[in-house]
Amino acid sequence: MEQRLSVITLGVADLTRSRVFYEQGLGWTAGGVEEQIVFFQLNGIVLALYPRDDLAADAGVAAEGNGFAGMALAHNVRSPQEVDEVLAQAEGAGGRLVKPGEAVFWGGYSGYFADPDGHLWEVAHNPLWGLDAAGNVSLAKGQAE
């Protein structure tokens, strides 16, 4: 697994309130907004805001209690095959496979593992985004390639 962090997804209770905080409160500009998710292009990383219950459901864990801390770290890769390889590598290194790689509703392929402390990592291939040779992710396909 390459050493990088691609996306930080924060599970939020109220998407509108959180968007207002980041856009109006902090002065950030959203790089992509959809009905259920907001993306901010940071320097070499993307921050996403996503409803907490939906994020937990995507990972296949309970939204409250053990197993879910309200966010998931993401590691983007170049192919669905690489998703499966990284998940296997993480499991072999002592991580716990939470959700095997599978085709997902947004058009990509992803799965989840938990590190030894239970922090969730999504490993994802997103054909709609750019990913350059150094592993820098871009919300705009082609900008990072």
Tell whether the model's pLDDT for residue 29 goes beyond 90.
Answer: yes
Distance of CA 133 to the CA centre of its chain: 19
Name residue 75's beta-bridge partners: 123
By three-state DSSP, how is residue 82 classified?
A: helix
Average confidence (pLDDT) over 103-120: 92
Number of domains making up the chain: 1
Could you tell me if residue 1 is inside a domain? Answer: no
Could you tell me if residue 144 is inside a domain? Answer: no
Distance of CA 22 to the CA centre of its chain: 18
Torsion sign, CA atoms 120, 48, 43, 137 = positive
Average confidence (pLDDT) over 2-23: 92
pLDDT (tens digit per residue) in 32-88: 899 899 999 997 899 999 999 999 999 998 888 666 778 899 999 999 999 999 999
**Domain range holding 90?**
7-138
Mean pLDDT across the chain: 90
Tell whether the model's pLDDT for residue 145 goes beyond 60.
Answer: no
pLDDT of residue 66: 66
d(CA 56, CA 69): 9
Could you tell me if residue 143 is inside a domain? Answer: no
- Give, in degrees to the nearest 5, the angle at Cα 108 between 106 and 114: 100
Could you tell me if residue 75 is inside a domain? Answer: yes
Could you tell me if residue 95 is inside a domain? Answer: yes
Q: What is the CATH number of the domain that holds 70?
A: 3.10.180.10
pTM: 0.77
d(CA 107, CA 127): 7
Tell whether the model's pLDDT for residue 1 goes beyond 80.
Answer: yes
